[in-house]
Structure 1
């Protein structure tokens, strides 16, 4: 079953178990989609009986070559487990790099919060602290 979900080289796998909701597999793997797109991804899968349900997929690093530029997306994922589920925070940064000069531009940042409880993942509304 795990081979079906994998795209490339497996880097790590963590099982989060809970008293009142299905367990979650936390998988980090390399991603190679094409010659021009590669990176590292992290996927959270809920274990429901003999099946997996994808809860969340995050590109920890995704680099895409587009002519003289490289577009990059970087993410930091913070996971805080409890007996009832998971709190997941994803902080993303996106930028574009001029390959000949190394100058970075188009910087964008966002933070998203998720809660896994009762067998379901939901987005949480939280104001970003500045």
Structure 2
């Protein structure tokens, strides 16, 4: 069975998207679901909330999004029983980097697709603005 993919999105900042993403992930884990959290916000709040220092990371969701072809892999970090794909400020450069790429609007789908059978739920903490990645 494929994972249910849920994006938590609101164009306003500070409305609790990240807190909801984290807590929903933990609650689903407590119900014995396998959960993947994806931090798609360059502010990396979810990454920080999960106890990871974003500036120390060598690979993040940014690297997966700008990599093309079949070699795409997500940098997974297990945090308290849920897997996290972390973010950091480099993600802000992804839009500029992908501006002239064909089918850039499908990049996130392509990155997530290989993991759909590995998880019950994939929760995406979105940035507080519309981007070409959403």
TM-score (norm 1): 0.26
Query: Going by fraction, where is helix more abundant, 1 or 2?
Result: 2
Higher CA-based Rg: 1
